Amino acid sequence: MSGKADKKTVSRRTVLKTPLAATVGAAALAGARRAAGAKPPQGQVGENAMPYGTIGDRKVSRLILGSNTPGAHSRDLIYAGQLGRAYNTKARMLDTYELAESQGINTLLQGNAGLIREYNAKRGGKLRKIKPVNVTKDDSKEKIKNTLTAAMKDDTAALFYIMGDRGDYLARARRMDQVGTSMEIAKSLGITLGLGGHSLQVVVECQKNRITPHFYVKTFHHDDYWSATPKANREPFCWYDSKGGNSYSGKTGDHNRFHDNIWCLDADKTIEAMQDVKVPWIAFKVLAAGAISPTSGFKFALNGGADFLAVGMCDFHVKSNVRILKGLFAREIDRKRPWA
């Protein structure tokens, strides 16, 4: 994607450029709607409607509201997380959910159960989330069953997945048998269970062991941005290597070892590995925490084979991101992997 194209898109830095009047106006409009009485948000219809796919028995919008709000992955920008939390108040989060649903987004990746429940109850929404669950290499079958059974009690959840860092952990420990066990138990409980991962090894180990999750939640983005870790220093599971530093603790370590701003170490290998995967693939971190423009990141991920995009969004991102996504679908997406 050219630099010129990037400049025409709306980046996450828009928060620093959006006039205050626009924000206040949007909040006032939302308040007026609430005063007039809560009505179920009406998704767009017609030729320019939100595209959908299916995961299990759930109809899912191709654009999923990610979990980076109300905070944000701030990397070494210490103020960014605090700024995100200050901006995304409870009231604004409820407004954001309403705006997202009005644009056709019907699913969140993770998300706050209390907020989703309140939104659905007070504003007539129908949002549901993909709930993360935790499975470790030492869990017994009984514990895994208890974990999944407890997760099912969350009435805001439509789908479930073993979260990304747990997928990495199991792949690194060569314990994908725990994923297979989890899938068997999920089938007995009648739930749709996916598998998350930042490392491509998660997918490779599943293929090697002939384990098929109901869907994948796998990171996917290009590396054409200045803060990406140099290719020579990209090591497997480098996210957990303290020698590279930790932006949360403020320890810098070896600056060239790993930059806390890359989660797809080799996009070409990811495309190749996912080519024959038949189950749905939700790509996340497609914008590398705001380092990549939506036009560039969305196009790359969809062309590369992703079926759904999970994107962290503030209220001022929603309409532009939906517009970009629908524009890509309208022009037909050039991809080799069949849609799942």
> What is the secondary structure of 75-99 as a DSSP string?
TT-HHHHHHHHHHS-HHHHHHHHHH
Looking at residue 229, what is its pLDDT?
86
What mean pLDDT comes out for the span 50-74?
87
Contacts of residue 283, Cβ cutoff 8 Å, sequence gap at least 6: 218, 219, 220, 221, 301, 306, 308, 309, 310
pLDDT digits (tens, 9 = 90+) for 158-197: 999 999 999 999 999 999 999 999 999 999 999 999 999 9
In the prediction, which pLDDT does 93 show? 95
Q: Look-up: residue for tokens 């179920």?
A: 40
Looking at CATH, the fold of the domain delimited by 3-28+58-330 is given as TIM Barrel (3.20.20)
Tokens in use for 201? 């090894």
The mean pLDDT of 68-78, rounded to a whole number, is 68
- β-strands 107-109, 128-133: how paired? parallel
> Which pair of structure tokens corresponds to residue 243?
């020698």
Mean pLDDT calculated for residue range 51-61 = 97
Q: Say which residue the tokens 């030492």 belong to.
A: 138
Hey, where are the domains in the chain?
A: 3-28+58-330
Q: What is the 3-state secondary structure (H, E, C) of 172-221?
A: HCCCCHHHHHHHHHHHHHCCCEEEEECCCHHHHHHHHCCCCCCCEEEECC
Residue 55's pLDDT band, with cuts at 50, 70 and 90, is very high
Position 22 scores a pLDDT of 39
